[in-house]
Amino acid sequence: MVMFRNRFSSQLSSDPRLLAVKSSHRAQVLIMEDEPLVALELQILLEDMGHQVCAVVDTEADAVREADATLPDLVIADIQLRQGNGVRAMERIAGRREVPVIFVSGNHTFTPNPQIRTARFIAKPFRVENLRKAVADIIAGTG
């Protein structure tokens, strides 16, 4: 974990463009990711941006349960989960409450679903600045 934190912290802090857009709002973020190292990378990046990760899950059922329990401001979701699917999880969550989502996935055939508010797509492998900008835009209400 230290290796990841050092690598991505230095990437965030060495680029003035990334520092300039650090959000003043501390968002509660739910991460849906079935690859543990990617989940850890996302958590570190979000925390370095000043946000709090309220839960990290790897199944559709856990995602829906945690979204109900933690009421996140934002969801970062992979499309393919260990059990289930991130898009279906977001459809179920959207049926209960409106929450923006950024899909971060290696599935390059993503088609937005109009049921899901503020759906963005970032392809894996992703660039830190693309994720940072998407998060900042959504938190600021411009994304």
Residue-wise pLDDT for 64-92, tens only, equals 999 999 999 999 999 999 999 999 999 99
Furthest C-alpha separation in the chain: 41
Q: What is the predicted pLDDT for the residue at 80? A: 94
Report the predicted TM-score, pTM, of the whole model to 2 decimal places.
Answer: 0.81
pLDDT grade for 50, boundaries at 50, 70 and 90: very high
Q: What is the predicted pLDDT for the residue at 14? A: 45
Domain boundaries, the chain: 2-140
Place domain 2-140 in its CATH homologous superfamily: Response regulator (3.40.50.2300)
Q: Give pLDDT tens digits for 3-41.
A: 444 444 444 444 443 433 444 579 999 999 999 999 999
Angstrom CA distances, 100 to 52, 73, 117, 123, stand at 16, 7, 5, 17
Residues in the chain: 143
Q: How far apart are CA 86 and CA 80, in angstroms?
A: 6
Q: How far apart are CA 36 and CA 73, in angstroms?
A: 22
